[in-house]
Structure 1
């Protein structure tokens, strides 16, 4: 009996070690780079923002012109309702970089410097196996900011749709992908082209002979928190009805693609998922009170994007939300934790935007990461501080080129066991 017990114990240990040997720790990151262009695209953009614009009285728009009281694009009033002849779907507005709410004109040298700083930050601080990018113009723009010009990475991206595109980069050592798919349904193609939003982007990686599905998204903005009226998903207004329509295709992707393979869903959700999880119970996920695990009836609105999409049906589709922490300092940590249950105005979040804190203008509440239940989080997800690199400084007598913020978002990073 004793010998039998010892043999059984040895077999058990061997099996455990075998399973452990088969496991791999993967570092994941998601980062919105804020209207990021390739150097060639930036050169054209800088030139066009520097050209003179004059008001066309017939159209009521500021248009490129060499006559009249012209002023460069850097000096115009931009915004959602800007009266400027400019296709924001194809090129960023000229007010991307600001200091004290004043536009900072960009130079080619400054944009090159910014790319170098992003690359160094990724190498020194992010260093993830898999990185999802939002607001990038395409593969070239991403490779230019990856360490070693991206030589050690594979990149999945696209060049259609609007200029705020997506990309997924992963270290070549992980293996290859079996697909790279633009998830068009998330762009809401049934809408008028001017109203269509950003699609999703997915890849299936083959890591150690096992599939891992990844989807990155950049969902409709301005419908952030159910704790404020303008953020109620089933409310009226311009933004929430659009985000409401993205719920179905997002859930459809998860239910279809999580079958038989673990999934990672990460990106800029433009939605405070923690507020949903802490304020909207299962019976309140849908406006009609029906079970979110059942098929969503036509015409029924949802109140919680996460509650509807991550309903655990089918079982393989169940995800864990990696609620981020902000360990940069005690103040940041406290605000980060409280903000998961309380609504914080932009003014209240200002301590996080300081150079001695997270540093980015949009520090928390927008970027999210979900992983399949079969992927064990090794440590809490963290927001990485970009500190002084989150601020833009204009040119002056001593510095002819401005210093540009590397992003208005801070990266979100986590490690899981695959």
Structure 2
């Protein structure tokens, strides 16, 4: 090639390169939103169970589920996957529930002819978030068909390190102290939970325990929190996602009993906590409001 032609080709080549815009920087990874929501006797049929609901009531709950915009939601007091699907759109969420069968169908207090439906624990996991399910933590039920197992999964969200999650719903009635009639049962559940925590703390994957603990764990010197948060092994140095935040769900209650408990590694990734209180016009679709931990 003659030198003038070679120079022209080089100039054209450089011009072409200069006209190509630089590749955009990768967008920051979206935070991972992990929530828990006790859904108050969510049954497949609103005419059944201890919480009557109309189709409009289910629609309101589905709207709140959309607004929650969570990647993973642990849910409690849900009869079945079919019941969960009335709130969490199956086109958007993968739904799983504990394998424990229904216990006894007690009469609902003060509601003639209505009986308790199954109160189970499970997860709604946004499609696109892969997960693996471990066996349910059946020991948490203490051999009692009317207590709940824990549901144990590991999620792998795009752009995030794996996160192991255990959804729980512990015995109600021992909210503080140890004098309540339900306290001996809750005291038996705590060592089961502690063994799970200690085993996970010795493994390389960060973890979260979330759900309805039926306990004011943030209360100063709570003895059951001290049992769980003993810092041994090192990653079992736990924290509560709510920190010093107090709930706004119901003015009668100034302390959370629904918690998102983070291990030391997940605690370092916490960048936010939210409670989704209900609008006055919606009343209380459930007697608990959902809470969300935001992890980087």
Alignment of 1:93-104 (within 5 A): 93=50, 96=51
Question: Cα distance 1:135–1:324, how it changes in 2: closer, same or farther (>3 A)?
Answer: farther
Distance in 2 (CA, whole Å) between partners of 1:382 and 1:215 is 20
Match of 1:170 among 100, 125, 148: 125
Alignment of 1:4-403 (within 5 A): 25-39=31-45, 42-43=46-47, 45=48, 92-93=49-50, 96=51, 106=52, 110-124=53-67, 126-146=68-88, 149-158=89-98, 160-162=100-102, 163-174=118-129, 176-189=130-143, 193=145, 196-208=146-158, 210-225=161-176, 232-233=177-178, 235=179, 237-258=180-201, 259-275=203-219, 278-280=220-222, 304-323=223-242, 336=246, 358-359=249-250, 364-375=255-266, 376-379=269-272, 381-388=273-280, 391=283
Distance in 2 (CA, whole Å) between partners of 1:239 and 1:322 is 26
Gapped regions of structure 1 (runs ≥ 5): 1-16, 46-91, 97-105, 226-231, 281-303, 327-335, 338-351, 353-357, 392-404
Q: How many residue pairs end up in the alignment?
A: 253
Distance in 2 (CA, whole Å) between partners of 1:180 and 1:154 is 16
3-state secondary structure, aligned to 2:162: strand
Distance in 1 (CA, whole Å) between partners of 2:95 and 2:134 is 9
Match of 1:406 among 269, 285, 289: 285
Question: Cα distance 1:207–1:127, how it changes in 2: closer, same or farther (>3 A)?
Answer: closer
Distance in 2 (CA, whole Å) between partners of 1:172 and 1:134 is 20
* CA apart distance, 1:238: 2.1
3-state secondary structure, aligned to 1:279: coil
3-state secondary structure, aligned to 1:273: coil
Paired residues of 1:35 and 1:136 also in contact (CA < 8 A): yes
Paired residues of 1:360 and 1:387 also in contact (CA < 8 A): no
TM-score by length of 1: 0.55
* CA apart distance, 1:363: 7.0
Paired residues of 1:30 and 1:132 also in contact (CA < 8 A): yes
Distance in 2 (CA, whole Å) between partners of 1:150 and 1:385 is 24
* CA apart distance, 1:322: 1.3
* CA apart distance, 1:171: 1.1
Paired residues of 1:138 and 1:159 also in contact (CA < 8 A): no
* CA apart distance, 1:170: 1.5
Question: Cα distance 1:164–1:363, how it changes in 2: closer, same or farther (>3 A)?
Answer: farther
Distance in 2 (CA, whole Å) between partners of 1:248 and 1:279 is 18
* CA apart distance, 1:315: 1.4
TM-score by length of 2: 0.77
Distance in 2 (CA, whole Å) between partners of 1:315 and 1:252 is 14
Structure 1 residues 172-210: Cα deviation after superposition (integer angstroms, max 9, x where no partner) = 122x21215321000001x5x5xx521111111223484
Distance in 2 (CA, whole Å) between partners of 1:390 and 1:155 is 25
* CA apart distance, 1:384: 1.5
Distance in 1 (CA, whole Å) between partners of 2:141 and 2:33 is 28
